[in-house]
Structure 1
């Protein structure tokens, strides 16, 4: 066992030169009630004279983006506002946003105000207005060319108004590729925001359905990074070969554990009583902590499964989401196979699964998980939580059946960047079994 990760020191038989170095990255953070009122000062410190505020129509209607824009203008910075963010971005919506950025630019900096969709859209605009090429050049292989940006990006200030994606901490931009009916992403250290401004006051209007789905994204970020292969399972690499997702490491582990502890105490309360500022603050901090964990260690099976679940949606419309079109929110799509995925990965690192179950199970008073068989403990904790926050009962509840499994498996197996982070090898047969057992969870 590796002394710092608790995982086997070598993840692959015959590996002669295991990695001995991991890299940890994070944005500057500003956290607390009222933190959003200081963004103008932050941009002034960055030397920005002209910025683009990126948001979606719902956040714009609530007045949050205008509040930020006016405060920034108050320190003498010129502001342009883009309100066209598509909730759950697509390649088409990102191309439209990039076109807007090119038409109205250049900009010295970007401010993303909203959920992960706004932050990821701002990342794409920043990338494509500072670097050459087409969007597809930068998408993760094998869906795209996996090209790395050659030029530095402009400063990006991320201001989340939802608690879930952790995109304010990460190097990832996630999108749906419409023609392929699959989710994928762009991943590079230069996409990480310069500054994350987390103000729990901005999350008070987040409705229960959004809180539930986004909160499961936080939880799975923490769980997947905590149970990922250790960084020592890589072959030793040169510095320029290392990727942002370096797998489980001691620093990411700390953030993931803290995120789970916060979730245990706040998640159910935040869904039940959205006006509870203490619960909202804990959820906002958990989202950031989980982002600091998975943004370095990575995620694995539940997120790989989530991409085709969301990308191949039929006619499901979630409660409390503004889009009048079929969609499966990202956090919900991640959660739907999580119980079965963690039943599958248990044998690779039982101690970590049991530790996670103990941390999360503390938020379910009156339930004695010590009586549950060890391999079933974490799945039981997850199913109980999903029932308590009123998430759909498995993939069948969002419109899938056994006939859809081959296509879902194909979509999952295309996410090799994520599956390679899983603590044990993942085959098509394994994924098919996880989907089959996830059609109904309880």
Structure 2
């Protein structure tokens, strides 16, 4: 019998948080010894004036910031290559990712592939890519989130769509983690309600999945410490971050959605995103996130109401949320006490629920929230039918980096049942 793991790791980034934190960015860049920096963002964030605000503050401290605003929502292998090609034309002391997870993940990729050049698939997670370890440290990366969602400012993961294969995947390595996170809730005031809902649901799902992931001491010990993955499983430290993120997200997400100008709601939701990133960035996520990759990658004609931009798209938070109720309905019996505790953190009446029924109760709680946030009623409303389930199952099985975090072994039969239950939620 394999020896079980007895060690967990906890890593995160130095963090600056609060209203107006962005105004100190010049000092922060100079303190890192940076003099010429490439800032990567998307057109919407640039149009809101955030990029120019960063560049102006940097100039006052003798730091030159060059802005590249070509990041696309839900990055692809093509958009990563475009950003990397631009970055290779200049010489940079470091990088800034300004925006949602798309911008921060793109900045992580640019930092990786310009510091340690290789074919794009070299570092992509197996089995879709080669899964080559990152050879060594990267240049300083400062992450500035403008959404309360991905928590990418604290994590060691960068995600992208592989266009030809119609699936999401990514790169995962501790060297990708930013050197500094500057989190200013004021930047989220301009978010449309639909974006607030999608990003906030990503927060809740991060926290719920990391809290219920397979614990670190129920996993085989690595052959050598260098092989210990970034996602080590639920552990006493990640549990603290995840539990608080669940409580904050459950209390403040709907309020931020209905009252976009509410400063307290924006601040609390931004805290939830940061806490959740600290939790799942070490413990890991599992089934809902693994399902979300093919849900987003195989989309045909759907475009969410109130979402900026053009073209078919299932935003990341929505693609995760649509699989969450059925996931916990099926996984709950395999982690009954943890699932009941997660329900209690959400504010559900966990004391009235038997442990084996906690998954169904959590699914009911999440479904009610999805209805309040006016999400599509299941996968059928984003264009999927029962005929698509085999392809969705295949795409999910490719996400073994995430599936191994589930509290029970995930096979095709389980996935088929979960996808079938996700076609309609109410």
* 3-state DSSP of counterpart to 2:253: helix
Between the aligned partners of 1:48 and 1:75, the Cα distance in structure 2 is 10
In 2, Cα distance between equivalents of 1:437 and 1:268: 25
How far does the alpha carbon of each residue in 1:391-413 deviate from its partner, in whole angstroms, 9 at most, with x for none? 11110010000000000000000
* Among 417, 425, 429, the residue aligned to 2:409: 425
1:361, distance to aligned residue in structure 2 (A): 3.0
Query: 2:342 corresponds to which residue?
Result: 356
Corresponding residue for residue 163 of structure 1: 148
Aligned to 1:25: 11
Match of 1:180 in 2: 165
1:144 aligns with 2:147: no
Quote the Cα distance in structure 2 between the aligned partners of 1:374 and 1:154: 45
**2:113 corresponds to 1:128:** yes
- Alignment check: 8 A CA contact 1:361 1:381 kept: no
Unaligned runs of 5+ in 1: 1-13
Query: What's the CA shift for 1:371?
Result: 6.8
Q: What is the 5 A alignment of 1:89-238?
A: 89-103=75-89, 105-237=90-222, 238=224
2:61 aligned with 1:79: no
Match of 2:52 in 1: 66
Could you give the per-residue CA deviations for residues 123-143 of structure 1, whole angstroms, max 9, x where no partner exists? Answer: 010001100211110100010
Query: What is the TM-score when the length of structure 2 is the normalising length?
Result: 0.97
Distance 1:369 1:234 in 2: 30
Q: Offset at 1:376?
A: 1.5
Per-residue CA deviations over 1:287-317 (Å, capped at 9, x if unaligned) read 0000000000001100010000000011010
Aligned to 1:370: 352
Alpha-carbon separation, structure 2, partners of 1:406 and 1:265: 37
Separation of aligned partners in 1, 2:265 and 2:401 = 34
Match of 2:372 among 388, 397, 400: 388
Q: CA deviation at 1:356?
A: 1.1
Measure, in 1, the Cα distance between the counterparts of 2:351 and 2:370.
16
> Which consecutive aligned stretches of 4+ in structure 1 deviate over 3 angstroms post-superposition?
367-375
Offset at 1:368? 9.5
How does 1:269-348 map onto structure 2 within 5 Å? 269-348=255-334
CA distance in 2, matches of 1:337, 1:154: 36
CA distance in 2, matches of 1:91, 1:401: 27
| Partner SS, residue 85 of structure 1 | coil
Contact 2:212 2:234 in 1 (8 A): yes
Give the secondary structure class of the aligned counterpart of 1:212.
helix
SS of the residue corresponding to residue 135 of structure 2 reads coil
Distance 1:327 1:167 in 2: 20
- In the alignment of these two chains, the number of paired residues is 423
How large is the RMSD of aligned CA atoms in angstroms?
Answer: 1.3
Distance 2:375 2:350 in 1: 22
Q: Report how far residue 386 of structure 1 moved.
A: 0.6
2:391 counterpart residue number: 407
Mapped to 2, the partners of 1:393 and 1:358 lie a distance apart of 25
| Alpha-carbon distance in structure 2 between the residues aligned to 1:19 and 1:113 | 37
How far is the alpha carbon of 1:381 from its aligned partner?
0.7
In 2, Cα distance between equivalents of 1:350 and 1:398: 31
Distance 1:283 1:164 in 2: 9
Q: List alignment gaps of at least 5 residues for structure 2.
A: none
Which SS does the other structure have where 2:97 is aligned? Answer: strand
2:289 & 2:281 partners in 1: Cα distance? 13
CA distance in 2, matches of 1:57, 1:375: 41
**Structure 1 residue 434 corresponds to structure 2 residue 415:** no
